[in-house]
Structure 1
C-alpha cells in the first residue's frame, strides 16, 4: 500500500472514519492552519543498544496483523478490533511484548541482541545502514543515519559520496558549486523533497544540498525511475527524499564539531524536548566557516571560495492526543561565498582590478503538516502539507551583477482509502503552487511568474500467495495519472506505472514507466557558466522578449526502468545483489550549447533526439564478522542533439564508474575505506581556441581514481571521535581555468571544464556528543 504515510516518514497509516464525512471535511479545513503528521493506533521507534534504527523489524498484534519498521526506526501499527497486545521482533534480538493500556505514545523501544546457539552456530542480524527495499513497489534505496556516519557528512551533498546510485561532481573554483547526477543526468531532473515536499528549489537550488547539514538528517530514500505522483511529476530520473531528525525521536542534546585541512570548520547542535502532554519541540543550529588562500596551480584564482554559512531550524510537533496531529517548522539560512582572483597577473592582465566573485543567499521558509483521523474505518486518511518561502540572492561575477528574489507558496492535500478490501488501495490528491521570480543578470531581465494547479490519482493492487503449504509469491501494481495546468507551459499529463513481482521472499522484479516534467531555471541551473566571458543567448535573439523573459519552455521526458533485487545467504552471511537498467527519453529539453563558439553560451529548446541509458550492478556482502564489502559498476550513455553539431555525447559525463567500499563495524572501532574509479569524459570542443590562449585540457578527460578513509572511535554510548582523509590518491586538476590571465578583457575566460578535484589530499577530524537522550 502506497499510503499517505509516505508524506510522514513512509510509515503506513490507517485512520478511522466519522459517521458523516461532510462534518469531518469541515473540521479538516479548520485544521489546515495547524501543522502535523498523521496518527495511527500505536506509533514509535525501534533502535538497538547503540542507537541505530532496526529497519525491517516486525511489529505485530498478538494473533493479528502487523507492520515493519522503516529506515529511520519508525513504525505505525494500525488498530485492530479486540487486540490489546503486540510484539516487536528482529532477527538476532530478543522479542518484546507490550500492552496498549500501559503505554505512553510515541513509544521508544530498544531491543537487546540475543544470539541463538544451535550447536556452535550463532545467528545475529545487523543493520549496515544502506539497503534496497524488497517490500516497496517502487525502486527505492534507503540510507539510514548509520550510513551517514561513515563519512564526515557535513552537508547533504557529501552524504552521497559513498552512494552507488547518486554521483557527486566536483566543485568549480569560482562558485564552489557541487552537483549530483542520477541515471547519467544532472540533478535538475531528480525531484528533491524534504519530508515529502519540495526542497529548497528555484533560486536556492544551486546550493540546496549544502544548506541541509548531514547531522540533521535521520534518513534518505533514493527512488530510481518513475516514482509516486503524490509530491508532483518533476522527478524524471527519480526522487530523493530527506527525513530530518524528529523532536519525538531525536536526542535531548547533540553536538557535532568538525575541522578540515582545507580551512573548514563546522559545528552542529540539535536539541529536543517534550514541552507538554502532547507537544514536542526541537531546534537545530548549523554554523560553518571556510577560509584559505589555496592556489595549487598558481593561476592567481582561489581553488575554493571562502564560505560563511548559518542555518537554523525550529520544530514543534503535536502527537498522541485528540483526533489530529500536527507540526510547525521554521527554517532560516544565510550563506556568503567569496572567491576569484587573489592577485592580478603582472604579465598579461591589462586590467589591474582583481576578478572577484561574491555570492550572498538568504532564505526564510515555513511549513507544516496536518492530518485528521476521525474516521471509523482504519484504512481512510486525509492530510495536507503547506509551505511558504522567500529567497534572495545578490551575486557579483567580475563586473556582472546577478540579483533575484523568489516568493513561493505550496499546498498539497491527499486522501487515501481502500476499495472493498486491502488488495485495492486508492490515493487521491490536489496541489497548488505559485512562484514569483524577480531576477536580473548583467542588466537583462529574467523574471517570470509561474503558477500550477494539479490533481492526481493512484490505484494500488496487491496480491500475495496465502494458501497454507504454498511457497511465497506476491505481485503489486501501482497505476497513476497526474494532470497539471501550468500557466506558461499549458496542460501536462503524467501517467506512471510501477509493477513488482516477488517469486519468493528473497527476490523482487520491478518494471516502471512514466512521464515527468519541470520548469527550468535558466540562470541558476547553469550557475557555473555565469562567471565567464561568454554572453548568454536565450532562444532566438531575433524574437522579442515576452512578459516572462526567464521562461523558455518546459522540459518533459519519459523514463523506463527494470530492476532485479536479490537477497542471499552465502557461508551463513547476508548479502544483496541489485541490477538496474533505465532509459530516459526527452521530448522537450533546454540545450546548454557552449560549442557553437567560445564567446557565447546558447540556451535553446531541443530539436531532435535526446536520451540517457544507464546500467548498474551492485552487491553488498558481509565477508567476515562485522566486515562489509560493497561493489558497484555503472555504465551510462547520454547523448543529445545540438543545433549545429547534431547528436553528440554529453560533456562531463563519465561513461563508466566503479565504487568499492570496505567497512568494519566494531563496537569500539569503526573503519571505512572507499575507492571510486571515474571513467573517461568528453570535454567541450577546443578547436576554436586561438593558439595564444594557454590550454592544458585534453579533448577527453582521462580516467582517475579517488580513495577516502575514516576511522571512528566510540568512547562510550554518547561520544564518538573520528578522523579521516579524502582524495588520498592526491588527484588534482591543474590549470582548470581557461584564459585565467585575462578574465576581464580576454574573450576566452572559462572555468567550467572541471572533471577532477582541485584540492589535493584533505584531512579532517571531528567529534559527536550525544549529551542527553
Structure 2
C-alpha cells in the first residue's frame, strides 16, 4: 500500500482534520504505547489505541475511558448503571461525539448512546480538548471524541471475546472478516450482553443494576483500489437494547402503570446505514475529495414509575469535503458542505414535543505548517438552521515548539447547539420532581439555543529523570456561556412539598474553568506511572444564586500503574494494570425541605475508587484476563432518596455521586484466528 493511499485513508476517512500531520510518527510508537500524544500535531489531541483499551474490560464505549485522565466517568443515576462522561467539567452533550468523523451520540441517544458501541469494535479513540474542527460541525463546545472502528481491510479472520462478572453481566463478541475479492473486504461484528440476576447490595429494596439484554450487529464493507486512489466504506448496523429496573418485587406485566411497586423499562431499537467515498487525484496526490452520508433511526420507548418518556429520532447527515493546497504543502485547506436533518417524535407523559430540525452549512479550514516548530489551523463555517437561525462559527488551533521536545498549544472557538432538555436529563424522570420550563419565546422547548466560547492553553514537555523517560503537561481551559439551557436542581419544592427541576435561559453567568496537571514517568523497565490532578471551577447563576454545578467535584486525582513482563518466543506475557481515582467533594441538590430521614448534606464526602486487571497472554492468539472495579468497596449511602415511598414527594434516584453496587469482579478471554 503506497504512502499516498495510507495518508488518504487516515485523513479523509478516519482522523480529524487537525490531526493529519506526522501520522507516520504515530504509527511508529503505536506498538509500545497505549496512549499517544504527538508533539507535532496542532490540536491538543490524545489517541487511545487498542492496546490501551485492553487494559480494562471496556465492555462499551462509555467504559473505555477509565484509564485516561482527560475524561471523567460518572454514574448518571442509582438505577440504570449507565455511565456518563465529562470533559473540561461539562457533560457529554457539550462534546462532539463522532464515529469515524460522522456524528453519532447526539439528540435522542445522549443518555445511553455511549453504551451502544461495544469496546471490542473500537480500533482507536481520538480525544481533542477545546472546540473541534469546523469540518465536523458547529456543536462542539468542550471537545471532540472520535471513535475509529476496526477496518475490514486490516481485520483478522476471526475474533472471540467472552466476559462475565459478579454482577451477573455476561457478554459475547465475535468478529468475522473475509476478503471478498481483490478490492473488497467485509467484516461482521456480533455482540450480545445480558444481566439476568437481581442485585441489591445496599439493601434499599431497589435493583443496583438493571436486568438487561442487548443484541448489536454491524456489517461493514470496504472497497480499496490503489491504482485509482479510491476508497469507500458501507456500514449496516442494527441494535436492540432492553433494560428493566426498579424495586426488587416489580413485575412489568403486573405492576406497570400502578403504584404497587416502582419500576422502569427502557427499550431502544436503532438502525444505522452509512457510506463513505474518498478519491485521491493521481496527478495531484495532495488533492482529494470525500463524501460521507449517514442515516439512522433511534426509537426509545420508556417509563420511569408513572412518568412516560418516548422519543424517536430519524436523522440524515451528509458531508462533502475537498482537500488541497495553496502554492505548496505548507499551506493546506479543507472546504465543503454539510447537511443535517432530524425528525423528533417526542412525548413526555401526555405532552407532545415533536419537531423537525434541519441545517445546511459551508466550511473552510486553512492549515499552515512549516514542518518544524509552528503550525496553525484557522477555520470558519456559516450555517442556516431552521431554529437556530443563520450564524458563523470560528475556530482556531495553534502549536509552537519553543525548544526540542516541548510544545505550547492554544485554541479558541465558538459552539452553538440545541439542548434536548428531556433526552439529556432522563435520570430526572426517576424522581418525583415536577418539570417546569420557565421560558416560552424560544424555538426549542420555548428556550433559546446554547452558545458558548471555549479558550485553551496547554504546555507539554518530555525529559529524562534519573535516566528514565518522563513527561509533564499542564493545560488551562475556560468555557464561557453566552446562553445556556440551565437545569436548575437548586429550586425549592412546591407548596405541596414536591421537588422541582426548572429549565430556563441563562440569566447571568455560567463558566467552566479547568486545569489539569499531568506527570508520567517510567519508574522501571516495563513499569510506567501515569498521574494527573484536575481542578474544576464550574459555576452557574441560578435563580437562587451562584452555585457550583451539582455533582461536579472541584478536585480530582488520577493515577495509573502498568507493568508488562518480557514477551517470550511463543508470545507468552503477563500484564498488570492498576488505576486509582480520588474524587473530591461535590455540591448536591437542595433537599433541606424533605422529611428529616430523606435529607442529604450540602456536599458529598470525598472518596477513592480502585480498579485493577491482570492479563495472561498464552500465545499471539489466546489470552485470559481477570479484574476488579471498586476494589475498596465504596458505596454511596442512601443512594435513592425516599426509597421507602417511591411514589411520594421525596423520591429521587438521580442524586448519585458514587457507586451503588460496590465491589465487582470479572473474567474473560480473547481468542483470535490470524
Structure 1 residues 488 and 763: CA distance shift in structure 2, 3 A: same
Match of 2:287 among 377, 380, 385: 380
Q: Give the C-alpha shift of residue 375 in structure 1.
A: 5.0
In the alignment, which residue of structure 2 is the partner of 1:328? 234
User: Would you say how many aligned residue pairs link Structure 1 and Structure 2?
Assistant: 650
Q: Distance in 2 between matches of 1:129 and 1:239?
A: 19
| 1:433-472 Cα deviation digits (max 9, x unpaired) | 00000110111112111001111111111224xxxxxxxx
CA contact (8 A) 2:527 2:561 kept: yes
User: Against the structure 1 CA distance between its residues 654 and 460, is the aligned structure 2 distance closer, same or farther, given a 3 Å change threshold?
Assistant: same
Q: Counterpart in 1 of 2:57?
A: 152
In structure 1, what is the equivalent of residue 496 of structure 2?
none
Alpha-carbon distance change, 215 to 398 in structure 1, aligned in 2, over 3 angstroms: same
- CA RMSD in angstroms comes to 2.2
1:749 aligns with: 651
In 2, distance between residues paired with 1:445 and 1:70?
53
Distance (whole Å) between structure 2 residues aligned to residue 571 and residue 319 of structure 1: 48
| Structure 1 position 551, deviation (Å) | 5.8
Confirm whether residue 420 of structure 1 aligns to residue 323 of structure 2: no
Relative to 1, partners in 2 of residues 1:736 and 1:489: Cα closer, same or farther, differing over 3 Å? same
Q: 1:45 maps to which residue?
A: none
1:11/1:358 Cα in 2 relative to 1: closer, same or farther (>3 Å)?
Answer: closer
Q: Which of these residues, 127, 147, 161, is aligned with residue 222 of structure 1? A: 127
Shift of 1:143: 0.6
Q: Secondary structure at the match of 1:137?
A: coil
Residues 719-773 of structure 1: per-residue CA shift (max 9 Å, x gap): 11100111111100122111112222x1121111111100111110000111x22
- CA–CA separation in structure 1 for the residues paired with 2:465 and 2:348: 59
3-state SS of the aligned residue for 1:525?
coil
Distance 1:517 1:553 in 2: 10
Q: 2:463 aligns with which of 568, 587, 593?
A: 568
Highest Rg: 1 or 2? 1
Q: Which residue in the other structure is 1:257 paired with?
A: 162
1:198 matched residue in structure 2? 103
Which piece of structure 1 moves more, 172-181 or 388-397? 172-181
- Is residue 2:540 matched to residue 1:640? yes
Instruction: Tell me the distance in 2 between the aligned counterparts of 1:176 and 1:7.
Output: 36
In the other structure, the counterpart of 2:254 is none
Aligned mates of 1:375, 1:717 — CA distance in 2: 38
Q: Which runs of 5+ in 1 are unaligned?
A: 14-54, 57-65, 74-89, 92-124, 345-350, 465-472
User: Paired residue for 2:518?
Assistant: 618
CA distance in 1, matches of 2:23, 2:356: 44
Residues 1:338 and 2:338 aligned together: no
For the structure 1 residues 242 and 551, does the alpha-carbon distance in structure 2 shift closer, same or farther, using more than 3 Å as the test? Answer: farther
Q: CA deviation at 1:200?
A: 3.4
The answer to whether the 8 Å contact 2:287/2:323 transfers is yes
Superposed CA deviations along residues 507-561 of structure 1, whole A, max 9, x for unmatched, are: 1100111101111111110010012112211233xx59x9x76462211100000
Provide the secondary structure at the position in 2 that maps to 1:8: helix
- Taking structure 2 as the reference length, the TM-score comes to 0.93
CA distance in 2, matches of 1:67, 1:680: 41
Distance 1:208 1:12 in 2: 24
Residue in 2 aligned with 1:768? Answer: 670
Displacement after TM superposition at 1:10 (Å): 2.7
Residues 438-477 of structure 1: pairs in structure 2 closer than 5 A = 438-464=345-371, 473-477=372-376
Quote the offset at 1:323 in angstroms: 4.5
- Counterpart-to-counterpart distance in 2, 1:762 and 1:227: 36
Cα distance in 2 between the residues matched to 1:574 and 1:279: 43
Structure 2 CA distance, aligned partners of 1:662 and 1:176?
26
SS at match of 1:681: coil
Matched, 1:370 2:277: yes
Q: Within 5 Å, which residues of 2 pair with 1:215-614?
A: 215-321=120-226, 322-343=228-249, 353-464=260-371, 473-540=372-439, 543=440, 550=445, 552-598=447-493, 599-614=499-514
Contact 2:324 2:334 in 1 (8 A): yes
**Contact map agreement 1:725 1:762 (CA 8 A) in 2:** yes
Q: Secondary structure at the match of 2:460?
A: strand
Check conservation: 2:159, 2:175, Cα contact below 8 A. yes
Q: Distance in 2 between matches of 1:284 and 1:69?
A: 29
Contact 1:3/1:12, CA 8 A, preserved across alignment: no
Unaligned runs of 5+ in 2: 251-257, 494-498, 568-572
Taking the aligned partners of 2:143 and 2:319, their CA distance within structure 1 comes to 20
Contact 2:22 2:41 in 1 (8 A): no
Q: In the TM superposition, what whole-angstrom CA distance separates every residue of 1:554-587 from its partner, at most 9, and x where no partner exists? A: 1110000001111223344322221111000001
Q: Distance in 2 between matches of 1:182 and 1:68?
A: 25
Question: Aligned partners of 1:588 and 1:697: how far apart in 2?
Answer: 30
